Amino acid sequence: MAKVEANKHIDVLTKAELKDFSGFIGNFSSVVGEEGGAEHTVDHGVVVLATGGHEHRPEGYQLEENSKVLTQTELEKRLAGKAKNRAPKSIVMIQCAGSRGDDLKYCSKVCCNHAVKNALTIKELNPASQVIVLYRDMRTYGYAEDAYREARLKGVIFIPYELDRKPVVSEEGKKLQVTFFDSLLQEEVEMTPELVALSVGIVPDGTEDLSKLLKAPLTDDRFFLEAHVKLRPVELPVSGVYVCGLAHGPKPVDETIAQAQAAAAKAAIPLVKGAVSIDPIVSVVEQEKCIGCGICASL
Ligand code: SF4
C-alpha cells in the first residue's frame, strides 16, 4: 500500500464514495466524495471495480449474544494473538452458517478452507483440544484437500448434518450448548464446547448503489454480473468497466489475484491503444410509437 501511495502516477482516495458517474469508454467522468465533504471530479478512460466484501452475520446462532460464539475470521485473529489460552480445550465449528439456503443462497467457497486452517492451528497449539466440525459438504477443493486430510489425521472430527436438522446453539446457564443430530449414530447429540466457530458466508460491499450509478447489472445475490462467463469473465456489459475479486463473487485469495491481474490486463488494452472504436449501435426514439413512459431513460 505504501508503494502504491508513493507512486506519483497514482492518487489514492480512502473513505471516499462515488457520487456521480457519466461518459463512455475512454471518456468517463466520476465525482468522488471524501469523508470531510470534499468532492473531486476525475476524468478517466476505464473503471476496474474491486469493491470487496465482508462477512455475513447470521442470526439464530448466538453470534451477537454470546462472546464465545465467533466467526472463523474472529477465531483466526484470536489464534494469532499471544494469550496462553488462545487455543480452546474444545470447539465446535458449524459450516454453512447462514449460507446455502438460509440468508444467503450461495456457497462462499472459502469458509471450508478457513475452518480446516483454523482447526489445524488449534491442533498445533493444543494437540489435546477437541475439534469437531459439523458440515453439510466439505468443499476443500484443489490443494486444500491435503489440509483436510491432515486435519483428519491429527484428530479433527468431521460430522455431517442434514439440511432439515441444523445444529442449534443455545445457552444453558453459563455454558454454551450445541445440539445436533448425528446421522451416523442416528441420535441427538448435546455438547458443551468452550467455543463455537461459525463458518459464515461473504456478502459484497456497496454493489447496489454502484450498479445504479454505473448502470451495470447484478446477480440475484448482489454481485456484479460479468458480460460472458467464459468469453468475457472480467468485463461488465458496460464497455470499459471491469470487475475482479469479491465484487464479482466469493473466491479465495489466489483466484482473486489471478482475476485482478486479468482485469488489469484487460483494462490496459484501450489505454495502451490510445483510441477506441465506439459501438455503432445507437438507440433512437420512434416518436410515432413512443407513449412517454420513460422506461427507456432509466435503462
Ligand atoms: S465453503 Fe463450505 S462452509 Fe462455506 S458455504 Fe461453501 S460448503 Fe458452506
Q: Which amino acid is at 29?
A: S
- Nearest Cα to 21, choosing from 161, 249, 214? 214
- Tens of pLDDT along 157-199? 999 999 899 999 999 888 999 999 998 899 999 999 999 999 9
Judge if ipTM > 0.95: yes
99 lines ligand 1 (CB under 6 A): yes
Containing 198, the helix (H) or strand (E) segment is strand 195-200
- Tens of pLDDT along 138-168? 999 999 999 999 999 999 999 999 989 999 9
- Nearest Cα to 198, choosing from 81, 52, 53, 66? 66
106 lines ligand 1 (CB under 6 A): no
Sheet holding 175-182, edge to edge: 168-172, 175-182, 187-191
Among the ranges given (20-24, 71-75, 161-165), the one the predictor scored with the smallest mean pLDDT: 161-165
Question: Could you tell me if 91 and 193 are in contact, meaning their C-beta atoms sit under 8 angstroms apart?
Answer: yes
256 lines ligand 1 (CB under 6 A): no
Assign 100 to helix, strand or coil: coil
- Nearest Cα to 198, choosing from 113, 74, 52? 74
Angle between helices 111-125 and 72-79 (to 10 degrees): 30
- Nearest Cα to 191, choosing from 181, 203, 205? 181
Report which protein residue has its CA nearest ligand 1's atom 4.
111
Residue 258: all three cell numbers together? 489471478
b/e code 254-269 from CB counts within 10 Å (16+ = b): ebbeebbeebeebbee
Name all domains of the chain by residue range, CATH numbers in brackets.
2-52+205-273 (3.50.50.60), 54-202 (3.50.50.60)
- Tens of pLDDT along 93-149? 999 999 998 799 999 999 999 999 999 999 999 999 999 999 999 999 999 999 999
Report which protein residue has its CA nearest ligand 1's atom 6.
107
